[in-house]
Amino acid sequence: MNDLSSIENWDDHIFSDGVDGRLYNDQHVFEQELKKIWYTTWVYVGHESEIPNTNDFVMKSLGLEPIIMTRSKDGNVNLLINTCTHRGNKLCSKSKGNQGSFTCPYHSWTFKNDGKLMGQAYPDGFKNADKSALGLKRVPRIASYGGFIFGSFAEEGPTLEEYLGGATELIDRLLANSPSGEIEVTTGYLKHKVRGNWKLLVENETDGYHPGFVHASVFMVSNSRINELYGDKSSSLSRDYGNGHTEIDLRPEFRKRGEELSWFGTNKERLPDYVEQMKAAHGDEKAREIMIDGTPHAMIFPNLFIAEIQMFVIEPISVSETVQHVTAIQFKGSPDINRRLRQQTMGSVGPAGFLLADDSVMYERTHQGLQTKTGYRTYTGRGNHRERLDEDGYLVGDSTDDLPSRGIWKHYKSLMEA
């Protein structure tokens, strides 16, 4: 078996219906992924609402890099590398706060929150130093869509909107469910660590085949109707938007029910304020349609999972460790639905979540299973005989098909070959 230190031909490792199992657990592959994916493409970093005020900051990450996301006086968002330009000390150890500058505790260099070097202790010693060249290193490109801030370490490349492509519709669909047209990330995060490769999580987020099995216990003990959405007879769809972005589109099932807020396991009577706000924002008919369709279940490659009522940010730690940061989505200005969004999120996700603890143990077992040295390859051909194009030209399949995995790996291959 050839090793993976320098893959010449990715066709030997990524197939139309499966992949070389070693791609999940080889250190060389992980290093190439950092270079060609995490340090190249647009990666989700944080949300505008996490730093609403001047001088707010929050600690984030991009690839393996800790990033300080700040809002400077000019109102701009900055993504700064958290490393002092003097000797490399970690500049900021707080997870969030509000301050206009950051002083390194090692030799007291001070940086403005837009990254510029403001001051050096005992300045007489820096006669030959060009202060303007000693600002904090920045993520070179930053862009946001609908409040979602992405960064890219590539100086040049496609714009964020080109990269998102049809997936912008997913974010639009989410925002349409908020009467104010805006969402907020204000409830803090559950940080959940798994001993597994990051790609296992990405693929699972839009795997519509597993819920009926992995989450069977939830259907047994609660009156959840999730099993209707993901069964063999479900009219839900899996969709590949290209560029690795995928979704499970549950709208066909919700439209069959034709009940507002059924997507959220509730009804109009229980959230009257929200329903009134939606009608005021969209008009009765449009509000009804939106409240029947609900929010998306979509994986924006490589790290943002919009899971109807919560969002996950996937952070690779190493080839065999990943952290999922999860927070409840909040609709700006809609307290009655927000309370339910938080409660449902807390029950389902995080280390003790009714759903995510079971997903996470599957990530770990799959990661262990993939350690086999027997020339193993996965099989992701389910439903490849029934792939079809929707009216917008995107590939769709049944909700339990492996179509999202195939789309993710196709895009992955194109990035790794580049």
Partner 1 sequence: MSLANINYSLLREAEQFLFVEARLADENRYEDWESLWADDGVYWVPAENAEIDPEKEMSIIYDNRSRISVRIRQFLSGKRYAADPEIKVRRVVSNFELLEEDGDEVLVGCNAIYFVSTESDDEVWGSRNEFRLRQVGDGFELARKNVFLVNAHKALPNLAFLI
Asked if residue 35 lies in contact with residue 394, where contact means CB atoms within 8 angstroms, the answer is no
Question: Of 173, 342, 406, 411, which one interacts with partner 1 (CB under 8 A)?
Answer: 342
Site for partner 1 in 199-218 (CB under 8 A): 214, 216-218
Q: Which of 280, 311, 278 is nearest to 178 (CA)?
A: 278
Judged by beta carbon, residue 260 or residue 359, the one nearer partner 1 is 359
Question: Of 180, 222, 318, 371, which one interacts with partner 1 (CB under 8 A)?
Answer: 222
Judged by beta carbon, residue 220 or residue 418, the one nearer partner 1 is 220
State yes or no: residue 350 binds partner 1 (CB under 8 A): yes
DSSP H stretches of helix in 300-392: 335-348, 356-369
Q: Which of 230, 222, 296, 286 is nearest to 260 (CA)?
A: 286
What residues contact 407, with CB distance under 8 A and at least 6 apart?
Answer: 240, 241, 242, 244, 245, 246, 395
Judged by beta carbon, residue 287 or residue 326, the one nearer partner 1 is 326
Burial of 383-409, coded b for 16+ CB within 10 Å and e otherwise, reads: beeebeeeeeebbbbbbbbbbbbbbbb
Stretch that binds partner 1, among 63-71, 72-80, 227-235, 348-356 (CB under 8 A): 348-356
State yes or no: residue 220 binds partner 1 (CB under 8 A): yes
Q: Build a one-symbol-per-residue string for 4-33: x at contacts with partner 1 by CB under 8 A, - elsewhere.
A: ------------------------------
Shortest distance (Å) from residue 132 CB to partner 1: 36
Q: Which of 391, 404, 196 is nearest to 300 (CA)?
A: 404
State yes or no: residue 368 binds partner 1 (CB under 8 A): yes
H helix count then E strand count, the chain: 13, 23
Shortest distance (Å) from residue 356 CB to partner 1: 8
- Mapped onto helix, strand or coil, the DSSP state of residue 15 is strand
Judged by beta carbon, residue 195 or residue 268, the one nearer partner 1 is 195
Stretch that binds partner 1, among 17-25, 76-84, 164-172, 220-228 (CB under 8 A): 220-228
Judged by beta carbon, residue 192 or residue 297, the one nearer partner 1 is 192
Site for partner 1 in 32-51 (CB under 8 A): none
Judged by beta carbon, residue 281 or residue 357, the one nearer partner 1 is 357
Shortest distance (Å) from residue 57 CB to partner 1: 17
Shortest distance (Å) from residue 216 CB to partner 1: 5
State yes or no: residue 221 binds partner 1 (CB under 8 A): yes
Cis peptide, bond prior to residue 296, ω within 30 of zero: no
Kindly give the pairing relationship between strand 388-389 and strand 395-398: antiparallel
Shortest distance (Å) from residue 116 CB to partner 1: 30
State yes or no: residue 345 binds partner 1 (CB under 8 A): yes
Shortest distance (Å) from residue 76 CB to partner 1: 27
HSE value, Cβ hemisphere, 13 Å, CA-based, for 233: 2
* Distance of alpha carbon 282 from alpha carbon 218, whole angstroms: 34
DSSP H stretches of helix in 236-271: 251-257
State yes or no: residue 62 binds partner 1 (CB under 8 A): no
State yes or no: residue 187 binds partner 1 (CB under 8 A): yes
State yes or no: residue 361 binds partner 1 (CB under 8 A): yes
Q: Which two tokens stand for residue 292?
A: 């029947």
Count, residues in the chain: 418
Quick one: which H or E segment has residue 389? Answer: strand 388-389
- Mapped onto helix, strand or coil, the DSSP state of residue 319 is coil
Stretch that binds partner 1, among 37-45, 126-134, 346-354, 406-414 (CB under 8 A): 346-354
Site for partner 1 in 311-330 (CB under 8 A): 323, 326-328
Q: Which two tokens stand for residue 261?
A: 């807020």
In the complex, the residues that contact partner 1 under the rule CB under 8 A are 95, 186-195, 214, 216-218, 220-222, 323, 326-328, 339, 342-343, 345-347, 350-352, 354, 357-358, 360-362, 364-365, 368
